[in-house]
Every structure is written in structure tokens, then in C-alpha cells.
Amino acid sequence: MATAAAVPSKQGSPPARADLGAWLAVAAGTLGALMATLDISIVNSALPTIQGEIGASGTEGTWVATAYLVAEIIIIPLSAWLERLLGLRKFLLIAVTLFTGFSVLCGFSTSLGMMIAGRVGQGFTGGAMIPTAQTIIAQRLPPNQQSIGTAMFGVVAILGPLIGPLVGGWLAENVSWHYAFFLNVPISVLLIVLLLVGLPHQKAKLSLLREADWLGILGLAMGMGGLTVFLEEGTREEWFASGLIQQMALVSLIGFILLIYAQFTARRPVIKLALLLDRQFGSLAVMGIALGVVLYGTSYAIPQFLSSVADYNALQSGKVVLLSGIPSILMMPLVPTLIRRVDIRVAVAFGMAVMALSAWFDTGLTLVSDGGDFTPSQLLRGVGQIMAMLFLSQGVVQSVATEDAGDASGLFNAMRNLGGSFALAAISILQQSRNWLHTRRIEETMNANAPAVQSYVKGVGQALGSPDAGIPLIGQQIQAQALVMTYNDIFFVMAIVTAAVIPLVLFLHPLPKDAEMAAAH
């Protein structure tokens, strides 16, 4: 999760107590953030149903989730500049309107390409509503009331990705998966009304167009977009044997070169990569990647496992994913006290270790595993998530100079989403490579002439009245066992990635005892 530092309003200091308009503006920002964070994961539990209707394979289906994250990575660092360019209200009204349109496009999708186009649009516009929600809290509420707005946002930031699979699953089972996207239409109407009432009009500053880091923006889009396609399609296209993969590698390389070049030539780079050279912030960014890997990786892999192995429907899978939110919500009131009294190094190490342990718990899955087997790991994951996420958020704000807080927030947020994108791409790769490996390994241990194999085939043939009936069943069992072993590998990788970054806490500095609580996403 990423932070946003409170940035004082350029329109002047807020009054001593917020009026109704200010709270309506905060409600609008919080509602927009809820809608945006919910849509990150709302497709996860319903994805098997969606894949079947739009004709996408399991590996292609990861694009439905990944497309949203990649677009968010690009837009979030741009949000502060777009806000200054258009004015906060106008920027949000445009974002909400376009988000609604792209949601409708997703709902009417009949092909993978159409769905991905809609999800990319959702990511670009929804991602803009997350940092701006934090800006509204900073600008419209006085300091003594900002903790209330921050708490509201904190709950939304945690609940959004967790209730997404549950809402999407319920709609897929009881109405239709299309309404997982159509749900945004009435919410957007309410949001537009709140924005019009709660936020003042600000004049656009189109002169800022001349100052934009267009080279950096282009490099960011090419680098991240090309890298994601490279990772997602690499295994299926046999890597550099494919012209597409060669092109995407080149596009990504050129993009990152442009982005780095812009760091030295732009008056104000779109994303300040130099912050990564700071030992403390660089450590926080790497841990943010690992955090994204576990958060998005588990919320994607668990519903996929339950659907393909335990025959869970979308609603049942969503309930299992939601379990990790219970500890997070229960612990939220304790967080301000913990931040003041617990050393950040201890808290982050504990949180990451618990998240690694929760992933490790899921490496012993079998063909008879169901949602109940995920209960201990999900509850542990919730505890680790709240500790790591919020303490990392505080660390980001405190690790940089005040004038760099906005850049640090955007960069950390991008790293967190990048971790999620890496996780989804890695799951796609592991599903193909490890499933093939485990299938071959199991087959190698089964000699067709072995007495046990012959006895099994004969027994099944006698039971079903067909001598050859047992052979297909053996193949099905091999595939099922290989699939379970593949998911065990996926959770094992998540555990190792999370545990590997724990030593980086040694580079962190203790938080000031009087540090204000920062919002996290």
C-alpha cells in the first residue's frame, strides 16, 4: 500500500472545523477510492466465469486483472500534475465520468480484447481517484479533524480489495458477472453529485502543458506496458523465439531509457527515480514490491485454486478472500498507538514475517483442500498486512524531505502495484511451466507395466465395464495432482519473496514519536 503525505492546501488553510461541504467532499473522495480499490479485485472470484464467456484461457485471464494494475502504475504519478492542470473538481469529474464509461464497456465485453481495453481505461481513471482522495482530506479538513478522514480512507483502502472478490462473486452467482461492472454506474452518479456540491471550482492552468515531462510520461507508459506484456506472454510465446516478445522487450527497454533520460533533462520529472538511491526509501520501495506480490498474488491465486480444484463458485471464493480483512479492521483502532510505541523495524519485520508464514501455510494443499484450509493463513495474512502496510506508509512519509513527499508517495504506490503486476505475471508463468514439469515427473514415476498401475486399470475397467476406462482416469488424476503441486509452488515463491526482503528493515530509521498518521492505499 502506498502513502500520501498531507499537502497543505494552496487555497489557504482550512477553517478550525470543517463545514458540511468539506465533509461531503471527503465523502466523495472516500467513495471514489472505494470504487477504485474495489474494482482492482472485483473480477478475481468471478474470473473463471468471465473467461468462459469471453473465450479466454486461464493464462490469458490474468490480463483482466493485470491491465488495471499497469494502468494504475502509470496514472498515479501523474495525478498531482493533472490535478494542478485541470483543478481538483474538474479532474475528478472527468475521471469519474470516464471510469463509468469504461465500466460499461467491461460489462458489455464479448471478447478478451474488449475486456482488456475497458480494464485499462478503468485503471487509468480509477487510479486517479485514489491519491486525490488523500488530497481532499489534506486540503478540506483542519489538522485536528484530518485523523477522522484518514481513518475513513484507511478502512476503505483495506476493505476495497478484500470485498471486491465477495461482491463480484455474489453478483456472478446471483445476477450476472456483467453487473460487477454495471454496479459502478449508480455509485458514479452519487459521486458526481457529491463532487459538484462538496468541491469548489478551480480554474484550469493549461499553461502547465508546456512544462510537462512528456518524455518521462512516454517512457513510463512504454516501459511498464512493454514489461508487463513481456512477462505475461513470454511463456506462452516461447520467449525470444517470438517476434512479439522481442518487440515488447525493445519497447520496454526504450521506455525505461527515456524515463531515465528525462530524470536529467526535465524541469520536474514525472516520477523522481532519484529517491530510490536513498538507502531508506529504496528499502521501503523494495518491500513495497514484495507487499504487492503477496497482496495481489494471494487474492488472485486463492479464488483460482478454489474454482479449479475445490469446485467453489465465485461467491464462496470471495468469502474466503474476505477473511484476511477481519484482523485488519479489528486492529485499525490500535494502529495510532502502535505507531507511537513500536519501532518501525520491529513492526515491519513482524508484519512481513507473518505474511511470509501465511503464504508458507498454503504450500501444503492437496486435492481435498477447500476454503477451510485457507482460514488460518488468511487470518495471519490480515495481521501481517495491517502491520506491514501502515508502518511502511509511515516510513515513506518520514524518509524523504517534505517537498518530495508527493513524489515518494506516487513512486511507492507504483512499486506496490508493480509488485502486484509481477505476481500476476509470475502466476501465469508458473501455471504453465510448473504444471508441465509436475505432469512429466509424475508420469515418469508411473511405469505402464507396473503391477500397481495394471491392477488399477483392471479394477476400474471391471467396475465400469470397459477395459480401457482406467487409462483416461489416470491421466485426469495426474493433471489434478500436477495442478495442486503448481499452486503449492506459487505460494512457496510468495513466501520466499516476502521473507527475502525482511533484512531490509535494518536500513530503516525509527519514526518520530510525534509523527502524524498518514493515509495508506
Q: Per residue in 80-128, pLDDT tens? A: 778 878 888 898 899 999 999 999 999 999 888 899 999 999 998 988 8
What residue type is assigned to position 290 of the chain? A
What pLDDT does 405 receive? 67
What pLDDT does 16 receive? 66
Average pLDDT, stretch 317-333? Answer: 82
Give me the CATH topology for the region 3-212+270-435+481-520: Growth Hormone; Chain: A; (1.20.1250)
Q: Which of 127, 197, 195, 118 is nearest to 160 (CA)?
A: 127
Which has more confidence, 512 or 221?
221
- Is residue 165 within 8 A of residue 45, CB to CB? The reply is yes
What pLDDT does 129 receive? 84
What are the grid coordinates assigned to 421, written together?
503486476
Which has more confidence, 232 or 431?
431
- Is residue 171 within 8 A of residue 103, CB to CB? The reply is no
pLDDT band at 40 (very low <50, low <70, confident <90, very high): confident
- Is residue 111 within 8 A of residue 55, CB to CB? The reply is yes
What are the grid coordinates assigned to 52, written together?
468462459
Report the distance separating Cα 282 and Cα 303, nearest Å: 33
- The four Cα atoms 181, 186, 192, 193 give a dihedral, to 10 degrees, of -170
- Is residue 435 within 8 A of residue 483, CB to CB? The reply is yes
275-301 burial string, b = 16+ CB within 10 Å, else e?
A: bbebebbebbbbbbbbbbbbbbbbbbb
Average pLDDT, stretch 289-305? Answer: 87
Residue 452 has pLDDT above 60, yes or no: yes
Domain coordinates in residue numbering, the chain: 3-212+270-435+481-520, 213-269
Residue 18 has pLDDT above 80, yes or no: no
Residue 475 has pLDDT above 80, yes or no: no
Average pLDDT, stretch 160-188? Answer: 85
